[in-house]
Amino acid sequence: MKIKVLKKTGNELKIEVEGAGHGLCNLLQKKLLEDENVDMAGYDVPHPLVSNPIIYVRMKGAAKPAVALRRAAEKARETNEKFSKELEKALKA
């Protein structure tokens, strides 16, 4: 998976994620929107045959978009770990 920065300013960040799908992008968008400093977050898949979605985040005030995206990725990882543990417990029962 490769990440390419398309736009980076003080309060905006736009990246292209090679090989990602709606699952990852939707999860990141949801986690970003949980952050009260995020003004807008979303993603776009410009062409359905090429899975290189573009993730966009714009912040309120002086908050940094790269920090928010890192936090969102960490929260997504934690959610994945919790799901994995619960799934293992459920499958053993």
- Per the CB < 8 A criterion, the answer to whether 18 and 1 are in contact is yes
A 10 A CB-CB count for 38 gives 21
Amino acid at 69: L
Give the CATH number for residue 50.
3.30.1360.10
Distance CA(41)–CA(56), nearest Å, equals 6
pTM of the model: 0.87
pLDDT in tens, the chain (93 residues): 899 999 999 999 999 999 888 899 999 999 999 999 999 999 999 887 778 999 999 999 999 999 999 999 999 999 999 999 999 999 997
Q: Copy the structure tokens of residue 62.
A: 């002086």
Range of the domain at 31: 3-92
Q: What is the pLDDT of residue 56?
A: 97
For the chain, what is the domain count? 1
**Range 53-63 burial, b when 16+ CB lie within 10 A, else e:** bbbbbbbeeeb
